[in-house]
Structure formats: C-alpha cells, structure tokens
C-alpha cells in the first residue's frame, strides 16, 4: 500500500461534535464546507496537503479503515468489538463518545421474568455478534433480529422482549417503557489505524498517532 494522501474517516453526529476540539489540538483544520450543515459532500480537504477527511456513518468508519480505503479513523469501541477486523489497530482511547451497550426489556416483563432460567431469547439489536457472544457466556442462545434504529419500539410491537442498544442518559428507554437489566460493554471512541498503512508508511502514521495521543493527554 503506497500512501500518497492519507484519509481520516470520522463519524457523523454526536461523536463528531466531541471530536472537533481534538482535531484542532492535532492541528487538523478541515475546509469550510466540513462545518456547513447544508453540505452533502463526504470528502474534505484539510490544511495538510497529504490529509483528507471523509465523513461517514460510525459503523462504516471501521469498514473503510479495515479495508484500506481510509488509513485512520475514529470509531466507538462497540463497533470495534462488533466487527473485530484483524486489520484494525486501536492505539488511542480518545475519551469521547462515552456511553454503554445494555440489555433492556419492557418494565412489566422485567417485573415478571426470571432471566436466570432462560435458555433462549429473541433480541432486537444492531450488534448481533456482541449480543450472541454475551448471551453465550451465560449458556443462553440469542436469536438476533437486526435493526439499525428505533429498537425501543420493537417490544411494544411484539418483535422481541429484549433489545441490546446504546444507552447514554436512558431517557429514550424510559420514554418507551423500557428498563436496563444488564450492561454489556462500556464504550468510548478510539483512534483506529489500518495495520498495512502502519507498516508501509510508519513515520507518517506514527506522527498522527502521537498527535492524537498528545491531544488527549
């Protein structure tokens, strides 16, 4: 992999807002369109001639970086664990995007069910790998139905009693009559790098790693 221009993949949404101050500390200034909410562009230049930024969905950051389309990325530990790409190396915990992945159920179900006696559960989630792995450790078979959003409404529609989803304040769960019953994973966002790029362009890649590490120290 010959690297003429490095690509940094960043996620849309809340994490990006928390990431912007770190980019400034790393002396990375995206072009003006990057901060324009009306812009539909996905790729942006920066103040570094050899660095561009792409703005994609958080799950896609891991894929772009693992397959070498991006050389560096910022992604949550939930995504890192869910995909478990061998080509991803996560050298820096950025200490942003803090939340956790939890199992939640309807409140009336939680009051009646005995979770210890379950041998099979149906779960709505966008994390089937993590979910099946977590339940398997308890000897429970998890049948996962994958949704990318609106999981909180699934129990009221009879799709499943359990959901596994990200929780920050818990307000969305409460608004939909759900309660947390178990934490699966604490989550923060990390800098990830492509292992092949790290081998073929070690000096430049290590400079960026050091810059992000210094930004959070």
Place of tokens 């009221």: 156
Res. 116 pLDDT band, cuts 50 70 90: confident
How far, in Å, CA of 116 to CA of 158, rounded?
22
- Residue 111, pLDDT score: 77
Percent of the chain with pLDDT over 90: 85
- Residue 38, pLDDT score: 84
In DSSP notation, 148-202 reads SS-GGGTGGGTS-SEEEEEESSSHHHHHTTEEEEEEEEEE-EEEEEEHHHHHHSH
Q: What is the pLDDT of residues 8-66, one digit of tens each?
A: 999 988 899 999 999 999 999 999 999 888 889 999 999 999 999 999 999 999 999 99
- Residue 2, pLDDT score: 63
How far, in Å, CA of 81 to CA of 95, rounded?
17
Q: Which domains does the chain have, with CATH numbers?
A: 6-97+188-216 (3.40.190.10), 99-186 (3.40.190.10)
- Residue 115, pLDDT score: 74
- Residue 104, pLDDT score: 95
Q: What is the pLDDT of residues 140-158, one digit of tens each?
A: 999 999 999 899 999 999 9
- Residue 39, pLDDT score: 87
List alpha helices for the chain, DSSP H.
Answer: 14-25, 58-66, 77-83, 107-112, 128-136, 171-175, 195-200, 202-216
């Amino acid at each position: 992999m010959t690297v003429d221009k490095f690509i940094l993949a960043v996620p849309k949404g809340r994490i990006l807002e928390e990431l912007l101050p770190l980019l400034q500390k790393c002396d990375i200034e995206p072009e003006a369109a990057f901060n324009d909410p009306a812009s539909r562009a996905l790729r942006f230049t920066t103040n570094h001639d050899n660095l561009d930024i792409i703005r994609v969905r958080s799950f896609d950051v891991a894929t772009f970086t693992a397959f070498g389309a991006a050389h560096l990325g910022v992604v949550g530990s939930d995504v890192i664990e869910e995909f478990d790409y061998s080509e991803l190396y996560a050298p820096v915990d950025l200490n942003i995007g803090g939340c956790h992945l939890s199992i939640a159920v309807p409140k009336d179900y939680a009051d009646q069910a005995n979770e210890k006696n379950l041998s099979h559960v149906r779960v709505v989630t966008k994390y089937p790998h993590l979910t099946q792995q977590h339940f398997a450790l308890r000897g429970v078979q998890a049948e996962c139905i994958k949704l990318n959003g609106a999981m909180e409404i699934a129990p009221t529609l009879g799709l499943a009693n359990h959901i596994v989803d990200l929780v920050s304040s818990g307000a969305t769960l409460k608004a939909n009559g759900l309660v947390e019953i178990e934490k699966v994973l604490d989550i923060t966002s990390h800098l990830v790098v492509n292992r092949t790029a790290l081998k073929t362009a070690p000096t430049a890649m290590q400079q960026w790693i050091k810059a992000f590490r210094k930004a959070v120290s």
